[in-house]
């Protein structure tokens, strides 16, 4: 079950302020019963719709739970509107919308970053959307910038030339993925005469041919007030906000449109008849089954994708189709997961319905387990679909599917950005922001007979398009080392850094009113057994967000048993002393809750979400698996096969292989951060190894839990004491003493060649600092200037924006309990890798020799502190932040003090951080990808 944007970004929860969880008796709460729907909700209550004289639709929704606002502009244009030869022009224009305007000829990413906005944009089949979330005092500034680029964007030769290279880098990066290549082939075959059958991002061939006139015409045709929806959600006053909207957007005029010409041209391409296709979808219609598409190319795991035509999103069958999807692929208890994954045929399976303005499709994706045939997977898949067509689903399945869908709406809308997204999507695609209410009302009424009929109508084998990806190098071995040297092949002199004072001329007026002193602090306590707990009550939404960490990470693996920590964590939900894997899954999925475990370097990460009424179930399940995991042998073998598949995929991915080689080049073989799983190490791990690791490292005194949400601390304390009271540890917990890691004595170059790849990924760096290093806050400010944002940083400005060498370039300090790497990551075309590396090294040397300016320094600090309230406004993110601070040994008041610590950084601190932490002569540089990346004559 894929979470489609309009499925998970819904629920305007103003009425939930008064909802209190009624837990009753803790013991009885553990009995799995289906929850009743949350009643009394109007998902669009408080939304005000205003249409300006120029046709712009404005949706406003006041949400006063945090001092932030989200501004989104949705244009009703996407790849659906593209004619032959212009595939990708919507996406190309999205990129160009950040290149500046006539009045503000600067990179808009720098303006948004200076405001502290968390911003982005996306292009899809039917829409292109731009969004930013800021402190409430920056609302007017954000509206001013969005109105400016609606009318005045710079679409010139210089902008198009550089951004074409960036878009091609992005598209070529997708080519690295076998699943992307399979999807492209399947969609083209399924919809040969429709724009929906073409890649949303476009093709390299079309992008290379775009002219300035083409893109300008497209911009003038579709970027017009009457073709857009402006959404504002958050902490603002509607009347004053609308006044600003009228002063900014209201003065924009409608453009002279060419609808008739474009529509006629599109109809030539998009001549598919939804009605005739869907009429043929009856199983009784004799239609020849299409041949299977088979791609035999370099890759890792074997893949299957099946696609079936569907009606548009307003069709009355859509609710039944979506419930059908949840029954087929909604979690571990779903039919396809049980038939394919639990049987050992597949490593994973997923599904999702694309219901759009025009008729869409339903797709099923599966990754084969090692040694399993795609033909067998396709056969079992068809048997499952046939059974769904022949027999009504059970009431248990139906209720579980509806409950999961209901919970996903609530859990997916805990932040105002998601809430604005829901409004924008429904208004743009359905033409009515109230659509979500009608849709959910229909979901509640879906019957078993309707699900069965949907399966009969739309899962017709004769209408199926199915594709196989059969890897030609499925052994999962690391890429071969290519020739390399300690020198880059060209010199490069970077230009002067962007002057923030120059940038400030183009910023709309805005105040800076960060006030984290009002942020509530979590209550902290420790149970008698040593388990540390942090609780923060937030009664605005009926949700619970649980984050946890257990000191049982991969640092304890060692090279011989690399993968042990991850296998242990992934087997926790495979059964306990009293419940098998399916029973555990149903306990949570019956209530729309989830609980997941994954091992990282310094601990096992725990994440859980659910409606607040189900907190007892979440806690009881967590306690059960932490205290009583059984590690059944059959499930261990299945998880081992999944781990081997994941390893193959990682070694076939330039990002995964590059990071592995980079990490192992920095840390010596005897260092805990050096170990990575191999096929040999995974195969050597026994059930006794898992039991021993579990008994040694899973202890209450090395476990920390943070819970944020609709809770009463007194009740939660009693619950935790009850369910965790018997969990005890003996002796002292295991501790690893990390040795210090010196920097490499000279610059080191390594190259890994992976056959069949189109784009290269490069990592540059060395060992860095820990989170409690006194230079940490100065390092954050330094990183913000260097590469903290791919559009606003020095690296982004030079390597991405000016030269167009990369789709994305970032830097960061992986500062944990122990020092982690400082690294720079970028994706480039193979022949651009050396130039991008040379540019990066020159920028690092420039930073080392010349330092930063006072204006850069102050702007970076403001950007970090201005965006911080947005982080605090999402309960899910907040629980993770509270947990991380506790695990790292920081005060619980850190969430309140962080902005002040950033502001306290001085220029002297900054200069010291540069001197200590920027060492261009000691870098490790690892590039993974095509053979063309390797320097000639190395």
- Written as one string, the DSSP assignment of 819-855 is --EEEEEEEE-GGGHHHHHHHHHHHHHHHHHH---HH
Element at 867 (helix H, strand E): helix 854-872
How far, rounded to the nearest angstrom, does the alpha carbon of residue 557 sit from its chain's CA centroid?
28
The Cα angle at residue 182 between residues 179 and 185, in degrees rounded to 5: 150
49: nearest Cα among 418, 439, 432? 432
At 594-650, the pLDDT tens digits run 999 999 999 999 999 999 999 999 999 999 999 999 999 999 999 999 999 999 999
Rg of the chain on CA atoms, in Å: 27
Token output for 693: 């690791």
- Who contacts 388 (Cβ-Cβ below 8 Å, separation ≥6)? 324, 327, 328, 335, 451, 452, 455, 459
Burial classification of residue 278, based on how many CB atoms lie within 10 Å of its CB (0-12 exposed, 13-18 middle, 19 or more buried): buried
Phi, psi of 700 (to 5 degrees): -65, -35
Neighbours of 704 (CB within 10 A): 22
The pLDDT value recorded for residue 498 is 72
**CA 320, CA 452: separation in Å to the nearest integer?**
9
Contact 129, 423 (CB under 8 A): no
For residue 640, what is the DSSP state?
H
| Paired tokens of 45 | 């209550």
Per-residue model confidence (pLDDT) at position 840: 97
Whether 606 contacts 705, CB under 8 Å: yes
Q: What's residue 493's pLDDT?
A: 61
Place of tokens 């610059």: 747
* Residues 334/362, Cβ–Cβ less than 8 Å: no
What pLDDT is attached to residue 732?
95
Helix (H, G, I), strand (E, B) or coil at 580: strand
Long-range contacts of 341-349 (CB under 8 A, 24+ apart): 341/638, 342/581, 342/582, 342/638, 343/380, 344/369, 344/372, 344/637, 344/638, 344/641, 345/369, 345/372, 345/376, 345/377, 345/380, 346/372, 346/377, 347/301, 347/641, 347/642, 347/645, 347/646, 348/642
| Residue of 439, 466, 312, 277 lying closest to 385 (CA atoms) | 466
Q: What angle do CA 773, 775, 781 make, to 5 degrees?
A: 130
Q: Where are the beta strands (DSSP E) in 448-526?
A: 465-471, 480-481, 523-526
Phi-psi region of 84 (alpha: psi -120 to 50; beta: other; left: phi over 0): beta
Residue 882 in tokens: 């509270």
Cα-Cα-Cα-Cα dihedral sign, residues 841, 843, 848, 849: positive
Kind and range of the H or E element at 240? helix 238-248
pLDDT for 21 equals 28
| Token couple for 680 | 């040999």
Please identify which residue in the block is written with the tokens 């994941």.
646
Long-range contact set of residues 906-913: C-beta below 8 Å, sequence gap at least 24: 907/854, 907/857, 909/775, 909/777, 909/778, 910/778, 910/781, 910/782, 910/851, 910/852, 910/857, 911/851, 912/775, 912/778, 913/775, 913/778, 913/779, 913/782
From CA 236, how far away is CA 882, in angstroms rounded?
Answer: 27
Judged by DSSP in three states, 288 sits in coil
Residue ranges of alpha helices (H) inside 770-812 are 776-786, 794-795
* Helix spans in 577-671 (H): 581-589, 615-628, 633-651, 654-666
Outline where 342-394 has alpha helix (H): 374-390
Q: What angle do CA 89, 92, 94 make, to 5 degrees?
A: 110
Reported as a single tens digit per residue, the pLDDT across 759-780 is 999 999 999 999 999 999 999 9
Buried b (16+ CB within 10 A) or exposed e, 765-789: bbbbbbbebebbbbbbbbbbbbbbb
Q: Which residues contact 743 (CB under 8 A, 6 or more apart)?
A: 766, 767, 919, 922
- CA pair distance 407, 416, nearest whole angstrom: 17
Please name which of 817, 723, 724, 823 lies closest in space to residue 771, comparing C-alpha atoms.
817
In this predicted structure, what is the pLDDT of residue 45? Answer: 85
Separation of CA 605 from chain center: 17
Q: How far is CA 604 from the centre of its chain?
A: 20
pLDDT tens-digit map of 893-921: 999 999 999 999 999 999 999 999 999 99
Q: For 84-110, what is the HEC assignment?
A: CCCCCHHHHHHHHCCCCECCCCCCHHH
State the pLDDT at residue 735.
92
* pLDDT in the model for residue 4: 42
Residues 477, 934: Cα–Cα separation, whole Å: 19
pLDDT of residue 257: 55
From CA 820, how far away is CA 160, in angstroms rounded?
Answer: 38
**N- to C-terminal Cα distance for the chain?**
49
Q: Point out the residues of the chain with pLDDT beneath 50.
A: 3-37, 40, 259-262, 264-286, 483-491, 937-938
Give the β-pairing of 128-135 and 118-123.
Answer: antiparallel
Three-class secondary structure assignment of 651-678:
HCCHHHHHHHHHHHHHCCCCCCCCCCCC
Do the Cβ atoms of 362 and 368 come closer than 8 Å?
Answer: no
Paired tokens of 594: 């989830």
């Amino acid at each position: 079950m894929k979470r489609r944007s309009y499925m998970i970004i819904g629920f305007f929860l103003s009425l939930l302020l008064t909802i209190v969880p009624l837990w009753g008796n803790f013991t009885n709460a553990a009995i799995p019963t289906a929850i009743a729907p949350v009643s009394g909700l109007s998902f669009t209550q408080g939304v005000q719709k205003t249409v300006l004289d120029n046709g712009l639709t404005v949706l406003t929704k006041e949400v006063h739970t945090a001092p932030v606002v989200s501004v989104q502009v949705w244009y009703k244009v996407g790849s659906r509107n593209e004619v032959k030869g212009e595939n990708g022009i919507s996406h190309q224009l999205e990129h160009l919308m950040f290149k500046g305007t006539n009045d503000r000829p600067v990179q808009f990413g720098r303006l948004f970053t200076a405001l502290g906005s968390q911003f982005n944009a996306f292009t899809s089949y039917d829409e292109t959307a731009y969004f930013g979330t800021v402190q409430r005092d920056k609302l007017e500034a954000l509206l001013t910038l969005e109105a400016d680029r609606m009318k005045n964007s710079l679409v010139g030769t210089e902008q198009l030339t550089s951004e074409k290279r960036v878009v091609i880098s992005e598209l070529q990066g997708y080519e690295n993925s076998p699943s992307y290549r399979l999807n492209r082939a399947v969609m083209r075959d399924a919809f040969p005469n429709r724009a929906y059958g073409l890649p949303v991002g476009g093709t390299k061939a079309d992008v290379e041919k775009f002219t300035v006139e083409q893109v300008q015409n497209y911009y003038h045709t579709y970027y017009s007030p009457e073709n857009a929806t402006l959404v504002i959600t958050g902490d603002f006053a509607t009347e004053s906000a609308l006044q600003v909207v009228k002063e900014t957007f209201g003065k924009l005029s409608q453009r002279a449109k060419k609808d008739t010409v474009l529509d006629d041209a599109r109809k030539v391409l998009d001549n598919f008849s939804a009605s005739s296709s869907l009429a043929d979808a009856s199983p009784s219609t004799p239609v020849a089954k299409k041949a299977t598409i088979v791609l035999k190319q370099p890759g890792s795991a074997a893949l299957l994708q099946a696609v079936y035509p569907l009606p548009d999103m307003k069709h009355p069958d859509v609710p039944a189709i979506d419930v059908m999807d949840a029954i087929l692929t909604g979690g571990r208890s779903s039919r396809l997961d049980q038939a394919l994954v639990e049987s050992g045929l597949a490593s994973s399976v997923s599904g999702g319905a694309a219901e759009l303005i025009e008729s869409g499709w339903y797709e099923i994706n599966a990754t084969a387990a090692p040694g399993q045939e795609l033909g067998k997977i396709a056969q079992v898949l068809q048997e499952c679909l046939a059974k769904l067509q022949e027999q009504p689903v059970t009431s248990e399945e139906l209720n579980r599917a509806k409950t999961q869908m209901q919970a996903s709406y609530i859990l997916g809308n805990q932040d105002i950005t998601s809430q604005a997204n829901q409004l924008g999507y429904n208004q743009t695609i359905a033409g009515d922001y109230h659509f979500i209410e009608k849709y959910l009302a229909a979901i509640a009424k879906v019957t078993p007979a309707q699900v069965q009929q949907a399966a009969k109508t739309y899962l017709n084998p004769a209408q199926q398009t199915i594709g196989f990806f059969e890897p030609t190098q499925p052994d999962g071995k690391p890429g071969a080392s290519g020739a390399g040297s300690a020198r880059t092949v060209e010199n490069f002199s970077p230009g002067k850094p962007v002057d923030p004072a120059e940038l400030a001329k183009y910023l709309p007026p805005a105040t800076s009113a960060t006030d984290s002193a009002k942020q509530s602090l979590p209550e902290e306590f420790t149970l008698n057994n040593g388990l540390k707990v942090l609780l923060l009550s937030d009664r605005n939404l009926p949700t619970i967000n649980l984050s946890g960490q257990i000191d049982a990470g991969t640092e304890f693996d060692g090279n011989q048993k690399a993968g042990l920590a991850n296998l242990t964590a992934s087997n926790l939900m495979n059964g306990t002393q009293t419940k098998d894997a399916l029973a555990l899954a149903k306990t949570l999925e019956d209530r729309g809750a989830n609980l997941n475990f994954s091992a990282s370097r310094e601990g096992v990460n725990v994440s859980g979400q659910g409606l607040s009424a189900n907190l007892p179930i979440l806690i009881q399940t967590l306690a059960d698996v932490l205290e009583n995991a059984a590690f059944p042998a059959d499930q261990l073998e299945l998880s081992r096969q999944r781990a081997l598949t994941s390893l193959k995929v990682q070694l076939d991915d330039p990002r995964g292989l590059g990071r592995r080689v980079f990490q192992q080049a920095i840390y010596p073989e005897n260092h805990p951060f050096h170990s990575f799983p191999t096929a040999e190490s995974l195969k050597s791990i026994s059930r006794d190894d898992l039991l021993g690791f579990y008994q040694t490292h899973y202890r209450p005194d090395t476990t920390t839990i943070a819970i944020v949400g609709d809770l009463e601390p007194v009740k939660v304390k009693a619950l935790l004491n009850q369910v965790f009271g018997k969990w005890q540890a003996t002796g002292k917990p295991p501790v690893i003493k990390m040795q210090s890691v010196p920097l490499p004595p000279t610059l080191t170059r390594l190259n890994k060649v992976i056959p069949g790849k189109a784009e290269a990924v490069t990592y540059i760096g060395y060992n860095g600092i820990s989170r409690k290093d006194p230079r940490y806050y100065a390092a954050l400010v330094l990183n913000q200037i260097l590469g903290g944002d791919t559009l606003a940083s020095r690296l982004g400005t030079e390597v991405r924006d000016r030269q167009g060498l990369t789709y994305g370039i970032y830097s960061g300090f992986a500062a944990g309990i122990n020092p982690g790497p400082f690294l720079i990551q970028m994706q480039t075309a193979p022949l651009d890798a050396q130039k991008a590396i040379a540019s990066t090294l020159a920028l690092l040397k420039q930073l080392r020799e010349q330092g930063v300016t006072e204006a850069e320094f102050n702007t970076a600090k403001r950007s970090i502190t201005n965006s911080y309230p947005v982080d605090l406004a999402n309960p899910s993110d907040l629980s993770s932040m509270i947990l991380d601070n506790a695990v790292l040994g920081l005060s619980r008041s850190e969430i309140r003090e962080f902005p002040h610590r950033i502001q306290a950084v001085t220029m002297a601190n900054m200069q010291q951080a540069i001197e200590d932490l920027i060492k261009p002569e000691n870098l490790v540089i690892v590039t993974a990808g095509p053979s063309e990346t390797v320097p000639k004559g190395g």
